[in-house]
Amino acid sequence: MDIPKLIAAQRAYFETGATRDIAVRRRALQALQASVRRHEEVLCSALRADLGKSVVESYMTEIGIVAGEIRFALRNLKRWMRPRRVPTPLFAWPARSRVRYEPLGVVLVVAPWNYPLQLTLLPLVGALAAGNCVVLKPSPGAPATAAVLSEIVGECFPEELVALVPHAPQAVEELLTQRFDHIFYTGGGTFGREIMVRAAERLTPVTLELGGKSPCVVGAEADLKLAARRIVWGKTLNAGQTCVAPDFLLVHESVCDRLLVELQRAVERQWGSDPRFAVDYPRMVDGAHARRVAELLSTAGGETVCGGEVLEEERYVAPTIVLNPDPQSRLMREEIFAPVLPVLTFAELSEAADALLAADRPLALYYFGDEREGRRLCERVPSGGVAFNDVVMQVSSRRLPFGGVGASGMGRYHGEASFECFSNCRSYFLGSKRFDLPLRYAPYPTRLAAAADGLVAAQHGVRYVAVRDELDRAAVVAQLLLVDDVRIVPVNMTVDADDALHHRGDRPHVVRHHDDGHAAVQLLENAV
């Protein structure tokens, strides 16, 4: 594939203005919707081949999420595209102010292997809804799914609108030498930093959806049976290869022993006595990743409470709990990305918060227990997202923006946040020729004196208030005129008895609404 030629063709198409049309955007989304529906069975087979996912998990975490995102975008696209009226400061009256979300141009989406369908197509939905042309680069780590994605994109879109770049040596490197209007990357932090460096050469904005070690704190008052069931589900989903999976547990020392028992029970209830033979238990993406997990476990220290089995040839890692691993081990320093759960204890919530603050900012923070205690923790410990008494489910809401903070990423997407991510939030100031406020023009002293005295008098219900100097006058005018919660009304407007009304002749009044529901009437005095 000739990448420079492809991007030039997309840019030429974008510059025709075709993608600004809501009908073009809707047709693109509808085509994607129909194609994903037609390919559901083959997608399930591909996800099984790449990651050992069951049909239920494939639909729940991949196909269904994509389908829901498309429906949501189609249902809300007209509203998202509508220009938004915002107030205009009195100083600029009677101008109008608008905000429009406009397409960026040609954008690049670089996707990972762990959710190869969802994390390729969700950004695509947002980019198309926002009116962009898109270059997709799926991960070679999930080749079967990438092949189906190539079919879907090929039958849905002309290359000048959406193109998928197949795996080839140095393909990503070549893409990063090109000019894009936005780069959206999901994956590891190391390559995320490289993308940011390369994007900086052209001042290209980036969205980085990274990962990190998302902690799960279990308080003394937690429902341990519920916590165990949900933690095990979130940790074994996609064999732990989920960026928001609980990476490790911090458990109050008073409930640790009981929680360990409940965790083991939850593993057996969900996956049987030997998960290796559970039909729906997922696998590592490849043998190398399984081998890495074995190395993490062999150097972790602590006590393996359950699991620990790793079969590289089968890409199998058993659900594993490690109690009190060495804090300096690779298991505690690296993102695990496997169904391995380290467990540590704490005595006081402040102790847990201190430990979390000493680490990188996580993508997710989980707390099981009293919600008030959870809020206390969250006030101290930043994260991309938060869930109380649950794990992973915050990702499922299209009305909750998803993204990281610090080392876990930057930027937000999902639902309307995706539309905004791939849009230029453009300001429109619509000036008026009907009225021209002289205050902005020199000579300033004369005009400021008249305006400041008059405005202060109107504000305070007195005929005259002394103003010491030119700086005071400028401050008064700025304070009272550079506001945007105002509206112009006729001189003869009826106001409440509590409102002070000051006017001279037929000059306009400005009514400013306060929290108490009354209107304070301000007079422009000699400013006009």
CA dihedral angle for residue 24, residue 26, residue 27, residue 29, rounded to 10 degrees? 120
Query: Which residue has tokens 């780069």?
Result: 183
Instruction: Give the active site residue among 44, 133, 156, 243.
Output: 243
Query: Of 382, 379, 374, 383, whose CA–CA distance to 222 is shortest?
Result: 374
Residues 340, 332: Cα–Cα separation, whole Å: 11
Contact partners, residue 301, CB within 8 Å, separation at least 6: 324, 325, 326, 329
Contact partners, residue 493, CB within 8 Å, separation at least 6: 509, 511
Q: What is the DSSP letter of 248?
A: E
Tell me whether residue 348 is one of the annotated catalytic residues. Answer: no
CA dihedral angle for residue 121, residue 126, residue 128, residue 132, rounded to 10 degrees? -120
What tokens were used for 221? 């008052």
CA dihedral sign of residues 51, 55, 57, 62: positive
Is residue 216 within 8 A of residue 368, CB to CB? The reply is: yes
- Helix or strand run (H / E) with residue 341: strand 340-346
One DSSP character per residue, 345-362 reads EESSHHHHHHHHHTSPPP
One DSSP character per residue, 175-212 reads HTTS--SEEEEES-HHHHHHHHHHHHTTT--EEEE---
How many CB atoms lie under 10 A from the CB of residue 441?
9
Is residue 36 within 8 A of residue 148, CB to CB? The reply is: no
Classify each residue of 394-407 as buried b or exposed e, where b means 16 or more C-beta atoms within 10 Å of its C-beta: bbeebebbbbbbeb
Query: Of 240, 259, 414, whose CA–CA distance to 344 is shortest?
Result: 259
Is residue 140 within 8 A of residue 168, CB to CB? The reply is: no
Contact partners, residue 253, CB within 8 Å, separation at least 6: 345, 346, 347
How many CB atoms lie under 10 A from the CB of residue 228?
24
How many CB atoms lie under 10 A from the CB of residue 14?
22
192 exposed, middle or buried (CB, 10 Å; 0-12, 13-18, 19+)? buried
Instruction: Give the active site residue among 57, 69, 160, 209.
Output: 209
Tell me whether residue 209 is one of the annotated catalytic residues. Answer: yes
The gap between the terminal CA atoms of the chain, to the nearest Å, is 65
Classify each residue of 232-257 as buried b or exposed e, where b means 16 or more C-beta atoms within 10 Å of its C-beta: bebbbbbbbbbbbbbbbbbbbeebbe
Positions marked catalytic: 209, 243
